[in-house]
Structure 1
Amino acid sequence: MSTRWNYKVVEVKPKWLSVTPKMIEDVLVPLGSMGWELVSVTHIATTTYLYLKKEN
């Protein structure tokens, strides 16, 4: 049987034209405790997008 995944994309919007590590941690910590795993990050203009997966 193959593994099935759920996927989530989270947009972290900047404050004062930047995204800080603390802002990203504040998003990731609760998601990690729910089983979500960060797999990729992109930064477009001033917004950071976090791509996560969780086993279904």
Structure 2
Amino acid sequence: MASDRWSYQVVEVKAFFGTKPEMVQERLTQLGLQGWELVAVLQTHPFKPVQLYLKKPL
């Protein structure tokens, strides 16, 4: 059954040289286990943090 009420969260990932994709994947896995679903990714500038937009049903 689809929910029409959502809770949202924005997580910033500070990317820097040497950041391993596995570290980001582990963080996303932790959030997924808590019920969060990734819906968008935004990076406004190469030297700014990447913003992960997540949602989960209330």
How many correspondences in the alignment? 54
Q: Does 1:49 align with 2:45?
A: no
Please state whether the residue corresponding to 2:15 is helix, strand or coil: coil
| Native 8 Å contact 1:7 1:51 kept in 2 | yes
| Aligned-residue CA RMSD (Å) | 1.8
Alignment of 1:1-56 (within 5 A): 3-16=4-17, 19-45=19-45, 46=47, 47-56=49-58
TM-aligned CA deviation for residue 19 of structure 1: 4.8
Give the unaligned 5+ runs of structure 1.
Answer: none
Q: Partner amino acid for 1:39?
A: V
TM-aligned CA deviation for residue 24 of structure 1: 1.9
Structure number having the greater strand percentage? 1
**CA–CA distance in structure 1, aligned partners of residues 25 and 39 of structure 2:** 15
Give the unaligned 5+ runs of structure 2.
Answer: none
TM-score, L = length of structure 1: 0.79
| Native 8 Å contact 1:19 1:48 kept in 2 | no
Q: Percent identity?
A: 46
